[in-house]
Structure 1
Amino acid sequence: MNQGIEVVGLYVHDQDEALAFYVEKLGFRVHTDVGNGDYRWLTVQHPDQPSFQLGLFTPGPPVLDAATAQAVRAIVAKGAMPPLVLTVDDCRAAYARLLALGVEFTQEPVDRYGTVDAGFRDPSGNGWKMIQGRG
């Protein structure tokens, strides 16, 4: 039996705002954008990883009740979720490019562990580590 992870979900406050951030600033592309009543299934892909999707979902029905959804929104806004990791060829160049596009950085590029990394957030507060590949 073949198994694998195809979609990892990320909670966002506003799907349109998140979509603009991930497509226009990070260079992802839309994979799926379909609605079903009040629920919208929205996924994006990194152009170099076509078999993997990042789901941009708003907390709420049908997955979460209203009280839980509000609690999740508050946790995400505080940056309390574990960071996602984006690998890049040149961390300092990517930092300069994304900073110029208005990306909010929480950490400038730092040399450590034999590579360079930086930290940033998406508009909902989700944390990212951007790490230079060792190649």
Structure 2
Amino acid sequence: MNITINTTVLPHLDPDESVAFYRDSLGFEVRSDVGSGTMRWIVVGPAAQPETSVLLAPPAADPGVTDEERRVIREMMAKGTYGWLLLAADDLDDTFQAVSAAGAEVVQEPTEQPYGARDCAFRDPAGNMIRIQERR
């Protein structure tokens, strides 16, 4: 069996802020941007990995989602507990400096974790946790 990751989905609240974060702070390319206003579905990803993407989607856009469910989703997004993405970088310190200099909200500076990974963390404009591990 040969299974690969194609796309993962994260919610966004402000599509323009999300595009700026993923494009300008993380250096991802914008592959598509469909819809209008806040109802936009945006595909971004690292240029060197055209087979792997992140779909930034409006939260709870499905008409079957209740107002109460939307409220809970927004609360979880604000806490950074609804969606998160784990990335890897060869030089964590340089990556941390570049992303934080681009204005990203720092959650954790580069730290050696008790489970063996060295990583740092940011929040995207919607509150999603973005963790970056040092590639070993």
TM-score class, shorter-chain normalisation, is 0.7 to 0.9
Give the % identical residues: 37
TM-score normalised per structure 2: 0.84
- 2:101 is aligned to 100
**In the alignment, which residue of structure 2 is the partner of 1:122?**
124
Matched-pair contact (CA < 8 Å) for 2:31–2:44: yes
* 2:52 corresponding residue in structure 1: 52
Q: Deviations over 1:33-76 (max 9, x none)?
A: 12279842211111121111101111143355351223212211
Deviations 1:57-111 (CA, angstroms, capped at 9, x unpaired): 1114335535122321221111113531110111111111111111111111113
- 5+ residue gaps, structure 2, are none
**C-alpha contact 2:13 2:38 (8 A) present in aligned 1:** no
Give secondary structure in 2 for the equivalent of 1:105. Answer: strand
TM-score by length of 1: 0.84
RMSD: 2.5
Partner residue in 2 for 1:81? 82
CA gap of 1:79–1:37, structure 2 versus 1, over 3 A, is: closer
Tell me which residue corresponds to 1:72: 73
Name the counterpart of 2:28: 28
Q: Gapped runs of 5+ residues in structure 1?
A: none
SS of residue in 1 equivalent to 2:70: helix
Deviation at 1:14, TM superposition (A): 1.0
In the alignment of these two chains, the number of paired residues is 134
26-35 or 114-123, which deviates more: 114-123
